[in-house]
Structure 1
Amino acid sequence: MILLALLAQAAAPSCTALARTDPAAAERAARATVGGGATARQCLGLALAGQERFAEAAAAFTEAARAGELARDGKAADYWAQAGNAWLAAGSAAKARAALDAALAAGTLEGLARGEAHLDRARALVATGQPAAARTDLDQATALAGDDPLAWLLSATLARREGDLPRARADIAQALRRSADDAQVQLEAGNIAAAAGEADKAEAAWKEAARLAPDAPAGRSAANALAQFASKEPK
């Protein structure tokens, strides 16, 4: 969800469309014009991301960002944000953090784009064991990208892990308001209810998560959590 939104920012419409419909063709086109500067390198990143070659995509976005800085085209921060997002998808949180630091330091990202960059940096910070710093970024994310349920979901999850159940409850309520049909949101709602000792609410939320996405990680985690209730049923 976040990846697709960020990868579409600041891209030429034709490149974005081709990367979505035929990423291999987009890659060929981008490589044919890769000497064209930051825009061509960004197009290559989009094409590679469309093929789930995220580490290669991140490298292409990084090249676009550096070229953009040299050209002073005003879009370097967008490219850095895309690089950070792609590094997250590639499982390289430390590299994502560095790219997102550059994106935010540029001072040119505004509104939703800035909020999403804070959200991604929070993800990188959590992955690298820095929850306190992640909280600062998540507060920025919920303020600037408050329509994104992922911002509220991650804020709720972090609050639960830090033992702040009132904050966790408030934030998961915001996530549910925006995306109650997301199994990850329902799973976390169940986790928070369980942490608060509300077994009935936890069971209901986990059942919904398992129903929504029985074959996805969130659905399977919910099904595993529900096993505790099955073991307590009278025989």
Structure 2
Amino acid sequence: MILLYLAAEAAIAGPASSADEARFASCVALTEKDAVQALEAAGTWQVQGGGVLARQCAGLAYASLKRWLPAATAFQQAAEDAERHGDARAARLWVQAGNAALAGGDMVKAGQYLDAALAGGALTGAEAGEAHLDRARAHAATGDTVTARVDLDMALKLVPADPLAWLLSATLARRTGDLARAQADIGEAMKRAPDDAAVALEAGNIAILSGAEAAARTAWTAAVKASPDSPAGVAAADALKRLGEPK
């Protein structure tokens, strides 16, 4: 979710030399052009003692190749290296590790990495909010809905403008049977992302459980119209098919 934009910030967040920062910037740029070559460059740099930045660039190269679990490991190693040296980049590197683990489907490790990111209090404001949001995703995926709710409520306080926070909050409320909360939160998501297929899909899911078939049909139709080939659009089309023609 935030793997790549953190790379540029990390280059100036810690006690790296200007030469290391320049080499890191070149390595990051290479990940966007030839990720395999960037991975080789990062490996060479690590052998030469590149440390945190070399490991982080390896993580970014793996991420560009969508090799999410090796990316998570590389970011983990970078974070651990940063912590050993009192490097301020550690928390953000743990976030990157968590994001990569989420993308790779390892929700247990994602939760652990995000625990580490939030543990020291180094993340504040929107960064902390997004980390809580990501940790909520990990907890929800492992069935820990109670902890997921705590994280989502914190995310809503810290990043109230993020429609994903409201969408996930609505989805969790629906799954735990709190339809009143689900209706309120999906309404907030729709205010912030009125053309988002995933938001429209969830609005339909909540509406049908609330007994509002017409509203569900309208929402699912909007999801299909917004993005017919996306997972949300396909799911909405399937829901409409199962619903059948209006009575």
C-alpha separation in 2, matches of 1:124 and 1:151: 14
C-alpha separation in 2, matches of 1:126 and 1:231: 34
- Any idea what the Cα deviations from partners look like across 1:16-54, whole Å, max 9, x if unmatched? 443334333322322221231111111111111011000
Paired residue for 2:242, among 214, 228, 232? Answer: 228
What is the number of equivalent residue pairs in this alignment? 233
- Any idea what the Cα deviations from partners look like across 1:169-190, whole Å, max 9, x if unmatched? 2211221122222211110011
| 1:51 alignment partner AA | L
SS in 2 for 1:146: coil
Are residues 1:25 and 2:34 paired? no
Paired residue for 1:182, among 172, 180, 196? Answer: 196
Deviation at 1:113, TM superposition (A): 1.1
Which sits farther off after the overlay, 24-33 or 138-147? Answer: 24-33
- Any idea what the Cα deviations from partners look like across 1:135-190, whole Å, max 9, x if unmatched? 00001111112222211110010011112222212211221122222211110011
Confirm or deny: 8 A CA contact 1:65 1:77 kept in the other structure. yes
Q: What does 1:15-94 align with in structure 2 at a 5 Å threshold? A: 15-34=27-46, 35-94=49-108
Deviation at 1:8, TM superposition (A): 5.8
Paired residue for 1:95, among 104, 109, 121? Answer: 109
- Any idea what the Cα deviations from partners look like across 1:101-139, whole Å, max 9, x if unmatched? 111102101111111111111011011110011000001
C-alpha separation in 1, matches of 2:242 and 2:6: 39
C-alpha separation in 2, matches of 1:6 and 1:161: 32
C-alpha separation in 2, matches of 1:171 and 1:3: 27
C-alpha separation in 2, matches of 1:223 and 1:127: 24
Name the residue aligned to 2:10: 10
C-alpha separation in 2, matches of 1:4 and 1:194: 38
User: What runs of 5+ residues in structure 1 fail to find an aligned partner?
Assistant: none
RMSD after superposition: 1.9
SS in 2 for 1:129: coil
Confirm or deny: 8 A CA contact 1:23 1:48 kept in the other structure. yes
Confirm or deny: 8 A CA contact 1:6 1:81 kept in the other structure. no
Are residues 1:201 and 2:215 paired? yes
Cα distance change of structure 1 residues 18 and 181 upon mapping to structure 2, 3 Å threshold: farther
Which sits farther off after the overlay, 25-34 or 199-208? Answer: 25-34
Q: Percent identity?
A: 55
| 2:37 alignment partner AA | A
SS in 1 for 2:10: coil
- TM-score by length of structure 1 reads 0.91
Which sits farther off after the overlay, 163-172 or 45-54? Answer: 163-172
Paired residue for 1:152, among 160, 166, 171? Answer: 166
C-alpha separation in 1, matches of 2:211 and 2:165: 25
SS in 1 for 2:228: coil
C-alpha separation in 1, matches of 2:5 and 2:84: 25
Deviation at 1:227, TM superposition (A): 1.4
| 2:220 alignment partner AA | W
Q: What does 1:105-144 align with in structure 2 at a 5 Å threshold? A: 105-144=119-158
Deviation at 1:7, TM superposition (A): 6.0
Which sits farther off after the overlay, 167-176 or 49-58? Answer: 167-176
